Amino acid sequence: MSKKIILGVTASVSIYKSCSLIRVLKKEGYLIKVIMTPNSTRLISPQLLESLTQDKVYVDMFSSYQYSLEHISLAKWAEVSLIVPASANTLAKLAWGLADNLLTSTFLALPSSLPKILAPAMNSNMWKNPLTQRNIKILKESGFKIIPPKKGVLASGEKGEGVLADLEDILKAVKPYL
C-alpha cells in the first residue's frame, strides 16, 4: 500500500526543488499532501504545487471549507512527514514547540512515533549560527531526522554550507521510512 506523506514547504530559495521532489514521489506512487507556510506562498504559488500533487495544497489555518480541525486531521492522516526545504525560522519554531501556522501546528500534533524528516536550506551564517545549531540539536534529541545541507554556491553567490541536500540524498534518507 502507498505510504501517506505530509510534505511541508517553507520560504527558502530552494523551494523550487520541492517541485522535483513531489514529481519523483508521485511517480513512485506515494500519496502526498503538501502544507506550505504562508511566507512560502510569496515565493511560489500553491497552484503550482496543486498541479503537481493533483490535490489541494494546505496553507491557511483558518480557512477550512468544512467543519474540521485541519492540523489534527492532517497529522492523523500522515504516515511519514517531511519538510523540504526547512527554513531557519521554521526549524526554530519546531524546536521550541511553536504552532503559529498550519505547518507548525500539524507537526506539533504528529504522533511521537511518526517519522519526521527535515532538510534545512539557508545562508551559511544562518546555518552556522549557534542559535540554529542549538535548534538542530534540540530537534535531533526530540526524534527529528535531519538531512544536513551541503557545501556549495549559495543564493547570494557566495560559497558555503547551507545548500539544500541533493534530491538523491533526500530520497535515500526518506526511503527507509516509506
Give the residues lining the site for ligand FMN (CB under 6 A): 10-14, 37, 39-40, 43, 87-90, 121-122, 126
Q: Yes or no: say if 16 and 40 are a contact pair by the CB < 8 Å rule.
A: no
> Least distance (Å) from ligand FMN to the CB of residue 30?
23
CA angle 13, 17, 22 (to 5 degrees): 140
Distance CA(50)–CA(110), nearest Å, equals 23
Q: By C-beta, is 22 or 88 nearer to ligand FMN? A: 88
Q: Which is nearer to ligand FMN, 5 or 83 (CB)?
A: 83
Residue placing its CB nearer to ligand FMN in the complex, 81 or 87? 87
Q: Judged by CB, which is closer to ligand FMN: 81, or 90?
A: 90
Q: How far is the CB of 110 from ligand FMN (least distance, A)?
A: 17
CB proximity list for 153: less than 8 A, separation 6 or greater? 159, 163
CA–CA gap between residue 4 and residue 77 (Å, rounded) = 7
- What is the smallest separation between the CB atom of 52 and ligand FMN, expressed in angstroms? 19
